[in-house]
């Protein structure tokens, strides 16, 4: 609680001081997590005509503590300390100053773009990056060499794709890892979707072992983005739902259907629910609590299709169920 209060107060002070600051400056907050730092950068209103897709006034990124020159774990874990440190990247240097305590910190930052980075990107055919975009490149440790390496692999990124490559860290190593796992020749869009869904070799291997092998890249990414993990598949199987299609898995996850909810239905006598029924019951708000309330009114063992119809027709008030049981 003290750490949270410290951050809130620090942000308030920093923003009040930042109101009149120049465009390359802003406010930062940080939290130590093991040997990594969860860093968040805040900016004022953007006036650049080249905002891109990188961020909208707030940008967060996770970085090993060792990458911040001048910042130590002792500083962050102290009861209170003033700090000055830097994050040096190909795209420029982010200089930080502020105060840290008990694993958290806050203060101001100033970004100095690298002229050599801009020159290298110009030479590669990418021009007109704003300070905001350059800051995104710096935060995500993007280098012109990444573009050269991707071109060697046959990719020709557009200027907009360069930002996505930086933000989602689409590197040759990542593409080679995916190829080794069975997904060779991913498009850049597919690679970005994999990153968004946190698809890695382990995810691919486990899904394949569960019977979901050879899925198209887009379908696999969609499953991952929605949150259909190997653990979720195993949870559904343990609850009695086997041989589920990817569409059924998607519906169950979107409907937030859990093994716990399935067990609640089972205790109420609904022990052979299909994936479709579970999804529809969630959508229409036919919860275990709703079924119990119906039973109290004398309506017991109502078939699932009739339960759904009652909810769809809005029969709650007629039955005296005025509370929302969704």
pLDDT digits (tens, 9 = 90+) for 217-276: 999 999 999 999 999 999 999 999 999 999 999 999 999 999 999 999 999 999 999 999
Q: Give the tens place of pLDDT for each residue, 101-157.
A: 999 999 999 999 999 999 999 999 999 999 999 999 999 999 999 999 999 999 999
Q: What is the pLDDT of residue 45?
A: 52
Q: Give the tens place of pLDDT for each residue, 31-71.
A: 999 999 999 999 865 444 444 444 568 899 999 999 999 99
Record the pTM: 0.82
**In this model, does residue 22 exceed pLDDT 80?**
no
The mean pLDDT value for 163-189 works out to 97
Q: Provide the pLDDT confidence category of residue 312 given band limits of 50, 70 and 90.
A: confident
* Chain centre distance of CA 54: 14
Q: What is the pLDDT of residue 321?
A: 62
Please provide the average confidence, as pLDDT, over all residues in the chain. Answer: 89
Angle between helices 217-226 and 201-209 (to 10 degrees): 100
Most distant CA atoms of the chain, gap in Å = 78
Q: Give the tens place of pLDDT for each residue, 188-208.
A: 999 999 999 999 999 999 999
140 DSSP 8-state letter? T
**In this model, does residue 284 exceed pLDDT 80?**
yes
The mean pLDDT value for 4-12 works out to 49
Q: Give the tens place of pLDDT for each residue, 88-104.
A: 999 999 999 999 999 99
Q: What one-character-per-residue DSSP string does 10-58 give? A: HHHHHHHHHTT--TTEEEEEEEEETTEEEEEEE------S--TTS-SSE
**In this model, does residue 6 exceed pLDDT 60?**
no
CA separation for the pair 105, 85 (Å, rounded): 12
Question: Which residues in the chain belong to E strands, given as ranges?
Answer: 25-33, 36-42, 58-64, 81-89, 92-101, 104-113
């Amino acid at each position: 609680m003290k750490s949270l209060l410290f951050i809130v107060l620090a942000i308030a002070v920093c923003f009040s001081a930042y109101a009149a600051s120049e465009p390359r400056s802003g406010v930062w907050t940080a939290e130590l997590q093991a040997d990594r730092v969860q860093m968040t950068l805040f900016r004022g209103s953007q006036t650049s005509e080249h905002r891109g897709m990188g961020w909208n006034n707030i940008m967060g990124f996770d970085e090993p503590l060792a990458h911040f020159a001048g910042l130590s774990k002792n500083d962050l874990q102290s009861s209170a300390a003033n700090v000055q440190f830097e994050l040096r990247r190909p795209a420029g240097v982010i200089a930080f100053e502020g105060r840290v305590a008990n694993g958290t910190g806050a203060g101001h930052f100033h970004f100095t773009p690298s002229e050599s980075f801009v020159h290298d990107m110009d030479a590669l055919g990418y021009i007109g990056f704003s300070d905001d975009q350059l800051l995104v490149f710096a935060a995500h440790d993007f280098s012109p060499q990444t573009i050269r390496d991707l071109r060697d692999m046959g990719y020709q990124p557009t200027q907009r794709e360069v930002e996505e490559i930086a933000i989602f860290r689409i590197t040759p190593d990542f593409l080679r890892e995916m190829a080794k796992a069975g997904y060779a020749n991913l498009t850049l869009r597919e690679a970005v979707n994999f990153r968004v869904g946190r698809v890695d070799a382990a995810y691919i291997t486990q899904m394949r072992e569960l019977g979901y092998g050879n899925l198209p890249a887009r379908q696999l990414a969609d499953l991952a983005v929605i949150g259909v993990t190997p653990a979720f598949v195993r949870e559904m199987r343990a609850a009695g739902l086997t041989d589920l299609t990817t569409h059924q898995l998607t519906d169950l996850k979107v409907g937030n259907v859990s093994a716990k909810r399935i067990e609640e239905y089972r205790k109420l006598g609904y022990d052979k629910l299909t994936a479709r029924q579970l999804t529809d019951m969630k959508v229409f708000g036919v919860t275990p609590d709703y079924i119990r309330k119906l039973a109290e009114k004398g309506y017991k063992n109502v078939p699932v299709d009739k339960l759904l119809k009652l909810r769809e027709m809005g029969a709650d008030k007629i039955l005296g169920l005025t509370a929302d049981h969704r």
